[in-house]
Structure 1
Amino acid sequence: MVIPGEVFFHNQLAETPADAQTARILIVDDDVSLRRTLPHILAAPHREFDTADCVHAAIAQLEAGIFDLIVLDYRLPDATGLAVLDWLSEHERDEAVIMISGEDAIDAVIGALRRGADDYVRKPYHVAQLQRAVQNALHKRMLERANRAMGERLRASERLHRFLVESSPDLIFTLDAQGRFNYVNPRIEELLGFRRNHLLNQPFASLVLPEDSDRIASVLQAQHTRPDTSFTLELRLRKATDTAAGVSGHLAVALQGIPMLGRGEGGEGGYVGLYGIARDISERKRAEEIISFQAYHDQLTRLPNRVLFRDRLDLALTQARRRSGSLAVLYVDIDRFKLVNDTYGHSEGDALIRGVAARLSATLRRSDTLARVGGDEFTILLPDIGGVEDAEHTARKIQTSLEAPLALTHGDFRATVSVGIAIYPADGETCETLMQHADIAMYQVKRSGKNGYRFFAPELNTRHQGRIAIENDLRVALKLGQLELHYQPQVSLSQRRVVGVEALLRWNHPDDGLISPAIFIPIAEELGLIGEISRWVLEQACAQLAAWQKRGHDNVKMSLNLAAYDFDRGDIVAEVTDCIARHGLPPGQITLEITEHMMMQDTPGVTAKVRRLREAGVGIAIDDFGTGYSALAYLQKLPISALKIDRSFVKDLGGLMTNPIISAIIGIARGFDLDLIAEGVEHAQQAAMLRALGCDVMQGYYFARPVQADDAEALFSMPPRSVSG
């Protein structure tokens, strides 16, 4: 797709030498692998790459030659990348710079942008994100180069002697002392569509758009009092084909006026008229508009970007302080965006973002501002609100606007969003504070189930700080050996022995003690650490089972849980089978537990991976069966080996009370010839009732709590607690 002005700039570049079109890119990073791989990732026709591993080496490269773009790492061995930006500023260099950093602090971003960085890419980043940033930077530089070249030609042409006026590409004319045409060259007919003889003795002001008429009138009037002063200004001249002076009916020109002096009404040396040269600058103005737009707008949605949003928020805050008014900042994040992006690709993800942006825009007032500030994140400014109810009304309208599904290439998708709201002045008095508090409120909605809105409250800040502390500690918990496995026995009542154990992950925090996986597993998934943790759990569980078997406990099975993310990885089957083989275990001794929710999602590849694991002999159990939207069709489709009855059904058993859901699950297991395990058994009545219904294998506090490996092994040779009935 060709953007406005693109053909023009291509023509301009075609006039330059071929080597001038080659973009030189300098990659500055102390990571050897990145210096080696980035040129391949960013490779494209007419691009050349040089590399440097530190600030000193980068400056040496810059002193030796000119580059079009610098891809600059923030952290370097001898200084930060800001030193390179300072050097460029001191030497008045104009290389474009993309700063890459893993810094979380906003100060790093602000520092880079204030020193002239064109873009800032935060680690970790998608390859496509960096490629787009490089493409945008080079495209912007191409536009600036074309703009500079055009300006240089204009200035040069103004100094040259004009000859062959009749064939000049510019509009050349002379005016008398009253500002009327007494000569105009034939170019007028091509540029504006007027016949030159019809303009003679007509005022020049009749060609000027009304919006510019006062400026030209004052300039022409000034010639009578200062006849020795030439001038240059930009005007819009109307075309004969559109007397209403619409957008398509005018021409932008740069007008140079040179006063003509001589004997006339003003006496000797007085002003007798004006010599004018009007050059078409429509393409240059269009290029300037494109450059300005790209600097302050998101290229995908055409919405304001973070920079423009902050400017408007700062202005709105100033006005609110002056009027003692209120405003609201809304932080909006698309739920399940990663699912669409990872499943169907970035083009579908982009379509989803554009669709949500259109729905959000339709809910707002003309005075409101909607901006895209991140991959799937938007911010909304609501100035001049009457109270919190206005912000709540907008949040509800946003939820309502997304009730209808969005049409994507692969089918309809029902998008939802999480919205956080901060109110000025109650929740903050600065741009940074309001955006931060709205962001915190949005994340609280995410953690509470998504698809909703929430106002900021001071206690959320405390929780947010606590969560950040957990995130920081979790990043090093595995390396410091703080994670450990506990094992809960699974007992067969008919065999009166432990037939298996479930490996349960625990985090033994040095200060906070044992932390439940219900707290840290969702955080690990958000941070992208769940894959590393799952690999550790698999390795530890297999090693422990192998150790037990060497001591004669070869009739005990091991169950362990895998997250949905693990099945999104292409190597999960190989990881499981290789680990089992490496420890010399029979595959049938390992059972992987997956959630019913993951089974129902049926994401591409899950079915195939489950089938391959079953073909390798590994057991697959549906954990918490019956708590979701169970469907027998999925039990037929997926080669499941076992079902687990959720504790929520077991806890209501007792006395003469039975649970029809448990009876149904037991019937399903029998019908599909599946193993069955009941979890959460806490007293003898529950165990007896389950046994009477036909469930033989159970686990729960009635038999044993989750314990460490040595304590679990001691239970293997002990008969379980008896069950009457």
Structure 2
Amino acid sequence: MAGRLSMMRLSPFAVQPADNEDGLQWPSIVHIDADIESASRMERLLLDHVGALHVAHCAERGLRLLCTVKPQLLLIRVPLAAVDTAVLLQRIQRLQPELSVLVLTTAEAPDVVAVTTTLERVWLLQEPIQTERLLATIAQCLQCCEQIDHLRLFPRLFMNSPLAMAITDSQRNFIRVNPAFTQITGYTQAEVLGRNPRILSSGKHDGEFYRRMWQILEENDHWCGEIWNRHKDGQLFLEWLNITTLRNADGSISHYVSIFADITQRTAAEAKMRHLAQHDCLTDLPNRSLLHDRLHQALLQAQRSHGLVALVYIDIDHFKNINDCFGHVVGDGLIVNVANALRSVIRETDTVSRLGGDEFAVLLPDVGSLAVAEKLVGKLLNAVANTYQIDGHDFRVTASMGVSVFPYDGREPDTLIRHADSALYLAKNEGRNQYRFFDPVLETHTERYTTIQHNMHKALQANAFRIHFQPKYAMDSQTIVGLEALLRWQDEKLGPVSPGEFIPIAEQTGFIVELGVWLIETVCLTMAQWRASATPLVPVAVNISPLQFHRGDLQVVLSQALARHGIEPALLQVELTEGVVMNRHEPTIIALNRIKALGVAISIDDFGTGYSSLSYLSELPVDELKIDRSFIVKLAEPQHLADKRLTAVPLALIDLAANLGLKLVAEGVETDIQADFLLANGCHVIQGYWFSKPLVAEAVPDVLKRYVGKPSNDT
């Protein structure tokens, strides 16, 4: 058996082989030979090396055997009496196109040689025949056919690929090439079959080049690089070549697969890749990398000419609200429209770049003077300020812009970028829809931003954040019906830091997710402590950032915190901004339903400030609406109540909540006038300084015991 394995080299050979006495699998063979003595010799030669051998002494008998035996290999010894070999082979391929055929012939049969070279899966072996040579040829036939069977799974890829593809055997001789190979090299498959790729050698590479190439291929099973080769007509061409080694299960090499393209295709592909690497895929504007490069070049030119260079950073105002409410398709459409608006007003030498999200930058080289720079920036601001129609919706859009100027605001690209961003921060904080030039005072804002960003992480680790709780007060029953958890932070160096300052920074840096998890966990822990002191509990609302909501694991965070501290889900409420909840994307609906399934209530915060679809609102699993404080603050004086323009929105929201059967809370109530107006018009629950400022956790139990009553026995 050891001798058989060494000669045959493969096990198993093909599909459905016969088993021998050792459990190993070898192929079954049909042998057609008109010479009885020759057939007997072949039978003695092969019987110990195959699973089954079926002999026929005429073509018709052999064809019938093919239909009943279903062999893996057909041996034909020609000539056969009164049989045209070409016709017989073509007939066999029609009957069993997947069958491997080995034709045994003499050297004096050129017609047989000619026909076998045109047929697939047909091999030729000339007599006289030695045992080792015959067995090795059978193994090679079956091995090659097995590989061809695999290739048939991907015929379109192989035959239609614009890249040249070639497959060689373990001895590096061609067994298959595709049309692109012929197009690039000039050689057809018939011309290269069984030959070594050295036929393409250009002579431009020395032996060390090829030695190193094959060494890398042996070590890594892959090599790629540029290589010169020679076309059939003698012309040299440069190709980018990838070679991959294919191995058998035992680690031995079965084939090599080569894929290559000529230099023209490669150059075009590289140019496209360079463009993609330096441009935004949505707008085709230069990206941050290309902007930085052009800024560097503009500064070098300005240094030589003593000129001015302006850098403008741009944010679309309230883009996030639109994107959250109407989805990314509308958001992307708006980005493209703004990009086109900016393109329409720049000079030929200027560069508009998209930095990501709704952030743009415009490079204005050689502006001549600050007055010219301001005029150009004004044109940019006016170009963006427009009404855009996208997906059937009209959006009135404005932008905020920050400007830094070389050499006054910095001489290095990074400095100018930082200062333009600082100026943009100021423009947004001062009301948006405007531009601001950099002022050295802005450095203080930048330093504070960086300090807050750094100190927030340390504060969370040191448990320096605190939670205050503001009651939701029902005026009709004079009871507290809920609390809202509000984050507070007193920094050792900065002092008290407003949530309006640190929360946006946390959102921009992604830290808001970690902070949100801590908030949920701490609120549940605090409620457990209140319960232990016999404090009556009411639902506590926690604000969830859009970033944390869209991560997809909020349900897990909520359920784990509730279970860990034994808090009933009905005692926890999540507050989401209108823009997040009103998003029609399917993942949003799924996430809301999962939260609702926990038994946790859902509240829409700042309601009335976004782009809500009222019909869509009725389909959402929400429990509560909160009227934004911006509508309540306008009702501070008696004369305000007579102005229908000021009362229209609150009254409409009160009616909406009543009609939809939703709870309603008015935020920011601070005066008797506001409270009386809301109570008289059907909004009974308020939140604000009129009843109570936010309370530290230690003060809450006494207030709840006073305004909620004694806890029940099972609380």
For normalisation by structure 2, the TM-score amounts to: 0.55
**CA–CA distance in structure 1, aligned partners of residues 434 and 523 of structure 2:** 39
Alignment partner, residue 658 of structure 2: 670
Does 1 or 2 have the higher relative contact order (CA < 8 Å, sep 6+)? 2
Tell me, yes or no, if structure 1 residue 692 matches structure 2 residue 674: no
- Residue 715 (structure 1) aligned to one of 695, 698, 703: 703
- Residue 456 (structure 1) aligned to one of 429, 432, 438: 438
Report the residue type matching 1:635 in the other structure: L
Deviations along 1:456-485, one digit per CA (max 9) or x if unpaired, are 222222211211111111122211111111
- Residue 622 (structure 2) aligned to one of 620, 637, 640: 640
Report the residue type matching 1:638 in the other structure: L
Contact 1:370 1:379 in 2 (8 A): yes
Alignment partner, residue 514 of structure 2: 532
Alignment partner, residue 447 of structure 2: 465
Report the residue type matching 1:298 in the other structure: A
Alignment partner, residue 235 of structure 2: 169
Alignment partner, residue 368 of structure 1: 350
**CA–CA distance in structure 2, aligned partners of residues 299 and 411 of structure 1:** 32
Q: Which moved more, 1:699-708 or 1:609-618?
A: 609-618
Report the residue type matching 1:504 in the other structure: L
- Residue 430 (structure 1) aligned to one of 391, 412, 421: 412
Q: Which moved more, 1:653-662 or 1:336-345?
A: 336-345
**CA–CA distance in structure 2, aligned partners of residues 484 and 552 of structure 1:** 23
The residue correspondences of 1:319-468 to structure 2 (distance < 5 A) are 319-332=301-314, 360-370=342-352, 379-398=361-380, 419-445=401-427, 453-468=435-450
Do the aligned partners of residues 546 and 654 (structure 1) sit closer, same or farther apart at CA in structure 2, a change above 3 Å counting? farther
| Residue 326 (structure 1) shift | 2.2
Alignment partner, residue 489 of structure 1: 471
**CA–CA distance in structure 1, aligned partners of residues 331 and 171 of structure 2:** 37
Report the residue type matching 2:662 in the other structure: L
| Residue 322 (structure 1) shift | 4.2
Report the residue type matching 1:169 in the other structure: Q
Deviations along 1:534-576, one digit per CA (max 9) or x if unpaired, are 1111111122223223333335222222222232121222332
**CA–CA distance in structure 2, aligned partners of residues 596 and 341 of structure 1:** 9
| Residue 528 (structure 1) shift | 0.8
- Residue 298 (structure 1) aligned to one of 248, 258, 277: 277
| Residue 398 (structure 1) shift | 4.6
The residue correspondences of 1:499-538 to structure 2 (distance < 5 A) are 499-538=481-520
**CA–CA distance in structure 1, aligned partners of residues 639 and 354 of structure 2:** 59
Report the residue type matching 1:491 in the other structure: Y
- Unaligned stretches of 5+ residues in structure 2: 1-159, 173-214, 238-260, 642-646, 709-715
| Residue 493 (structure 1) shift | 3.6
Contact 2:279 2:287 in 1 (8 A): no
SS at match of 2:661: coil
Contact 1:355 1:406 in 2 (8 A): no
**CA–CA distance in structure 2, aligned partners of residues 582 and 479 of structure 1:** 21
**CA–CA distance in structure 2, aligned partners of residues 629 and 413 of structure 1:** 10
Do the aligned partners of residues 559 and 287 (structure 1) sit closer, same or farther apart at CA in structure 2, a change above 3 Å counting? closer
**CA–CA distance in structure 2, aligned partners of residues 378 and 695 of structure 1:** 43
The residue correspondences of 1:305-316 to structure 2 (distance < 5 A) are 312-316=294-298
Do the aligned partners of residues 414 and 608 (structure 1) sit closer, same or farther apart at CA in structure 2, a change above 3 Å counting? farther
**CA–CA distance in structure 1, aligned partners of residues 234 and 560 of structure 2:** 79
For normalisation by structure 1, the TM-score amounts to: 0.54
Contact 1:488 1:503 in 2 (8 A): yes
**CA–CA distance in structure 2, aligned partners of residues 400 and 656 of structure 1:** 37
Do the aligned partners of residues 283 and 446 (structure 1) sit closer, same or farther apart at CA in structure 2, a change above 3 Å counting? farther
Alignment partner, residue 477 of structure 1: 459
Contact 2:321 2:610 in 1 (8 A): no
Report the residue type matching 2:675 in the other structure: A
- Residue 597 (structure 1) aligned to one of 576, 579, 590: 579
**CA–CA distance in structure 2, aligned partners of residues 677 and 654 of structure 1:** 20
**CA–CA distance in structure 2, aligned partners of residues 318 and 656 of structure 1:** 62
Deviations along 1:223-281, one digit per CA (max 9) or x if unpaired, are xxxxxxxxxxxxxxxxxxxxxxxxxxxxxxxxxxxxxxxxxxxxxxxxxxxxxxxxxxx
Report the residue type matching 1:677 in the other structure: V
Report the residue type matching 2:519 in the other structure: V
| Two-structure CA RMSD over aligned residues (Å) | 4.9
Contact 1:489 1:704 in 2 (8 A): yes
**CA–CA distance in structure 1, aligned partners of residues 704 and 290 of structure 2:** 66
Contact 1:300 1:354 in 2 (8 A): no
Contact 2:582 2:617 in 1 (8 A): no
SS at match of 1:458: coil
**CA–CA distance in structure 1, aligned partners of residues 330 and 655 of structure 2:** 42
Contact 2:530 2:537 in 1 (8 A): no
Report the residue type matching 2:654 in the other structure: I
Identity of aligned residues (%): 35
Deviations along 1:510-545, one digit per CA (max 9) or x if unpaired, are 223332211111111111111221111111112222
Deviations along 1:656-679, one digit per CA (max 9) or x if unpaired, are 864454443333333333323333
The residue correspondences of 1:124-163 to structure 2 (distance < 5 A) are 145-146=225-226, 149-150=227-228
